[in-house]
């Protein structure tokens, strides 16, 4: 009568390890092929975002200096905003949107930045005088939207960042799968070799 091979048999263990490695290799390769373009885009945009403050003002405009860092000397935000809207219509285009995306206050620089929706444009204004210091072309904002997938929400006008949520979920999960399978593709062959050596 033949005895059934034990699950702890070293040979069976190596066979299972080899099968698991083949599966991980297939998953790793398939994930890479399906998401190659997206990984490439994320790597390039991530690199650019990392360098945005060291791009000489090309990706992220340098912050100018206002005349006072004392907030008590500053104009009110509503008056600064009204001035910013006038500057947008006079200096950019009468059809420019004045819908605000955000206001960035730099007290240490004496500057208020108004960033408007729909154009990747911003204005830097002296907080105390309301003088226009610079019109920003915010290329880094565009790159950031490409990086996190929200560029699709931006152009399609969807609310709630639907495409961004889907994109980041897929890419985050794919990165986890890549890391997990990549580790086992590195560790697994060595484990099999060590198992063989111990049986000799």
| Helix (H) or strand (E) run with residue 126 in it | strand 121-126
Q: Which of 114, 115, 105, 100 is nearest to 74 (CA)?
A: 105
Distance between CA atoms of 91 and 101, rounded to whole angstroms?
Answer: 19
Which pLDDT score is estimated for 15?
Answer: 79
* Residue-range domain boundaries for the chain: 11-49+160-199, 61-137
Residue 115 has pLDDT above 90, yes or no: yes
Which pLDDT score is estimated for 5?
Answer: 46
pLDDT in tens, 73-90: 999 999 999 999 999 999
Pick the residue with more confidence: 39 or 157? 39
At 199, is the pLDDT very low, low, confident or very high (cuts 50, 70, 90)?
low
Pick the residue with more confidence: 16 or 7? 16
Tokens linked to 70: 């004392």
Beta-carbon contacts of 174 under 8 Å, excluding residues fewer than 6 positions away, are 31, 35, 39
**Cβ contacts of 186-195, under 8 Å, gap ≥ 24:** 188/17, 188/20, 188/21, 188/24, 189/21, 191/17, 192/14, 192/17, 192/18, 192/21, 195/10, 195/13, 195/14, 195/17
3-state secondary structure of 136: strand
Tokens linked to 95: 């059809």
Pick the residue with more confidence: 188 or 134? 134
Residue 59 has pLDDT above 80, yes or no: yes
Q: Across the chain, what does the average pLDDT equal?
A: 89
pLDDT in tens, 128-181: 999 999 999 999 999 999 999 999 999 888 877 899 999 999 999 999 999 999
The single-letter DSSP state of residue 130 is: -
Which pLDDT score is estimated for 58?
Answer: 95
Q: Which residues of 36-53 are buried (b: 16+ CB within 10 A; e: fewer)?
A: eeebeebeebeebbeebe
Which pLDDT score is estimated for 1?
Answer: 45
Residue 3 has pLDDT above 60, yes or no: no
Residue 9 has pLDDT above 70, yes or no: no
Which pLDDT score is estimated for 162?
Answer: 92
Tell me what the mean pLDDT of segment 58-72 comes to: 96
At 55, is the pLDDT very low, low, confident or very high (cuts 50, 70, 90)?
very high
Which pLDDT score is estimated for 30?
Answer: 93
Tokens linked to 184: 């086992």
């Amino acid at each position: 009568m033949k005895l059934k091979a034990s699950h702890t048999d070293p040979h069976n263990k190596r066979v299972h390890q080899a099968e698991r490695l083949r599966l991980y290799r297939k998953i790793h390769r398939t994930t890479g092929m399906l998401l190659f373009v997206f990984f490439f885009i994320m790597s390039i945009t991530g690199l650019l975002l990392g360098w945005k403050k060291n791009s000489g003002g090309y990706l992220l405009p340098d912050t100018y200096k206002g005349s006072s860092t004392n907030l008590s000397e500053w104009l009110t935000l509503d008056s600064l905003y009204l001035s910013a809207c006038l500057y947008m219509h006079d200096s950019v285009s009468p059809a420019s949107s004045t819908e605000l995306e955000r206001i960035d206050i730099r007290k240490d620089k004496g500057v208020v930045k108004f960033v408007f929706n729909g154009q990747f444009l911003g204005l830097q204004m002296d907080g105390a005088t309301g003088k226009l210091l610079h019109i920003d072309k915010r290329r880094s904002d565009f790159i950031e939207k490409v990086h996190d997938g929200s560029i699709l929400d931006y152009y399609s006008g969807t609310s709630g960042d639907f495409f961004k949520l889907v994109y980041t979920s897929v890419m985050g999960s794919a990165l986890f799968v890549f890391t997990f399978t990549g580790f086992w593709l590195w560790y697994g062959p060595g484990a099999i070799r060590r198992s063989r050596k111990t049986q000799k």
